[in-house]
Structure 1
Amino acid sequence: MNKDKNCVEVDVSATIGQCESVDIDPQTTPGDSNNEVVMRVPVTIAERRVNTSLVANIKFPHPVLEIKDIKKSIQIVQCRLLLPGISPEAAAADGFFQNLDLKLFLKGFVRKNITYATPCPHSKGDSCISSEIKSLTAKIPFECVTTIPAGEFTSPPQLPLFNSRNEFDFFRAQDLGPGYPEKEKFLSSDISQFHQVSNQYYNNYTFCELLASNIIEWDEAIDRTPLSGNAPFQEGTFQEVVEKMFLTFDIKVLQHQQVRVAVIPPQ
């Protein structure tokens, strides 16, 4: 009797033949009387090309005979458009969308993976050097703030509403107690009670997408020394470099907003 209850091997497809498909009509939203719908979608607020410069010292854990390759990429860890708040009254009068000069805060790293050759111990000769290939990964931080002028927004951002808290009290008349005429009263609010109305608004923050980047760098060893002993002429090693980088990267700034979109009425 076969105790194996799995009569089909699920890891292998039962068929790898050609599948057939036909076009079907998609189900669409009919829209309102004007054939429009309101959608909450990411809206492009701005697209910016950012330039910044970096200077850093990189120290290697082993003597470096020669750098073989450097792979690098930009990593953005924070990209935030700093929006000023607005009161509900001001939003009702002037609107949520206003043309203002705004600051864009950026923070990130340049990730570098450096492949290099390091001499093997006791491997030097008159005309050759044996070496091992090693790598070092380093992250060079950068942080900057750039201004987006009011006239350069693709679409204005929606300003966040202020939260509000308002207190109110009730009048209370109390007896003054011994030493005061009976007809006199202490007239004030009741400090033993607290009353408040608070409003919270859950606004949509801005976020970014990284579109492209360009890095121009210059690395220079600052502690290179010739190889000692019986080694080829002009060969040497170093363990520290100073690098200068010029970064250029393109970013897209977005915010979830509600927009009206025309729809195609069903046929």
Structure 2
Amino acid sequence: MVENSSQTNEIVVKQNCVDVSANVVESCENTPIRIEGITDRVIAKIPVVLAKFNVQVNVSAKVKLPEIALEIKNVKIKLMLTQCMLLQDTNTLFIKGLVRKNIDYSTIEKCPTTKDVCGDIRHCTVNIPFECTTTVEFNGFPPAEIVPSTWKEFQYFQKQKLPNNFAEKDRLLSGDLSEFNQNSTEYYNDLPYCELVNSSIINLDEYLNRKIIRNGPIQEGVFEEFEEKMTINIVLRVLQHRLVEIN
């Protein structure tokens, strides 16, 4: 609701001026509509699978936490690819990526005793990079051949007079050096690309330079750095847009 104030000439807006109520409907009926499509033979440009494969990447890294930790409580892992590039006219695939790790770990905030040790739960997110190359077997359909661009230089015939030290009837027969002529053609090839199908990561985190807490509970220790060992299995599809005849 909006009201005008005659003394100050201001607009005062009151809250909750509209009441809304709604009912939840459990089901709604629908009527199918016929899908119209092309019934004749057509040529379509669609993604064609060139290869599908599993690639294994082994990664070793060291991670230093921002503070002393008692233990790692939980780790959430996510794989991200930043490059998947097939070098054309070869079967070499260049792969780059990151393993995002969100690490929950416990700290020591109070003086430990032989019976207990207390602290907080903290978290730290790190990106561990990796890269490799792999040889692809085209078990789907081979990629299209590269059509190269062309540049062709050409000249025009020219007939010119010669300097005075030549006979008067002689003429210089050659190409015209006063201009440059070229016929260039560029072809825009479709670059193969990748799709990430699925991934699995087996990892081992090993604490480095772990120190036992003096006068603390038995076997309890602290660390600041750990070594990461991972085996990453990635299932990839390599595709390329091709002209396909559909009957």
> TM range, normalised to the smaller chain?
0.7 to 0.9
Partner of residue 107 from structure 1, selected from 90, 96, 106: 96
What is the rounded CA distance, in whole Å, between the counterparts of 1:26 and 1:15 in structure 2? 33
Aligned to 2:154: 168
What corresponds to 1:209 in structure 2? Answer: 195
Please tell me whether residue 232 in structure 1 is matched to residue 217 in structure 2: yes
Amino acid corresponding to residue 245 of structure 1 in structure 2: M
Structure 1 residues 227-266: aligned runs within 5 Å = 227-228=213-214, 230-262=215-247
Amino acid of the structure 2 residue aligned with 1:197? N
- Cα-Cα RMSD: 2.5
Corresponding position of 2:42: 37
Where 2:107 maps in the other structure, the secondary structure is strand
Q: Please point out which of 17, 29, 53 is paired with 1:20.
A: 29
Alignment of 1:68-83 (within 5 A): 68-83=73-88
- 1:179-224 CA-to-partner distances (Å, cap 9, x unmatched) read 3333333332112211111111111111111111111112111211
- 1:83 to partner: Cα distance: 1.7
In structure 2, what is the Cα distance between the partners aligned to 1:2 and 1:132?
Answer: 51
Query: Cα distance 1:148–1:64, how it changes in 2: closer, same or farther (>3 A)?
Result: same
Question: How many angstroms does 1:177 deviate by?
Answer: 2.5
Structure 1 residues 58-89: Cα deviation after superposition (integer angstroms, max 9, x where no partner) = 111111100001111221111122222xxxxx
Deviations 1:223-265 (A, max 9, x none): 111234x432322211111121111110111111111223xxx
What does residue 123 of structure 2 align with? 135
Q: Give the counterpart of 2:106 among 117, 121, 129.
A: 117
Provide the TM-score with structure 2 as the length reference. Answer: 0.85
1:54 is displaced (CA, Å) by: 0.8
Q: Per-residue deviation at 1:14?
A: 7.7
For 1:180, give the aligned amino acid: F
Alignment of 1:135-214 (within 5 A): 135-149=123-137, 152-214=138-200
Where in structure 2 are there 5+ consecutive unaligned residues? 4-12
Equivalent position SS for 2:217: coil
What letter matches 1:80 in structure 2?
M
CA distance in 1, matches of 2:117, 2:199: 38
Number of residue pairs aligned between Structure 1 and Structure 2: 234
Cα distance in 2 for partners of 1:14, 1:186 equals 95
- The whole-number CA distance in structure 2 between the counterparts of 1:65 and 1:2 is 60
> Partners of 2:206 and 2:2 in 1: how far apart?
71
Q: Secondary structure at the match of 1:154?
A: coil
The one-letter code of the counterpart of 2:234 is F
Task: Rate the CA distance shift 1:195–1:130 in 2: closer, same or farther, 3 A.
Answer: same
Describe the shift of the 1:249–1:13 C-alpha distance in structure 2 as closer, same or farther (beyond 3 A): farther
Given residue 234 of structure 1, which amino acid in structure 2 is its aligned partner? Q
Q: TM-score, normalised by structure 1?
A: 0.79
Q: Tell me, in whole angstroms, the C-alpha distance in 2 between the residues paired with 1:2 and 1:69.
A: 53
- Residue 132 of structure 2 aligns with an amino acid whose one-letter code is C
Structure 1: runs of 5 or more not aligned: 85-100, 263-267
The correspondence for 2:55, drawn from 50, 59, 79, is 50
Supply the AA of the counterpart residue of 2:72. I
* Greater C-alpha Rg: 2
Q: Distance in 2 between matches of 1:231 and 1:15?
A: 60
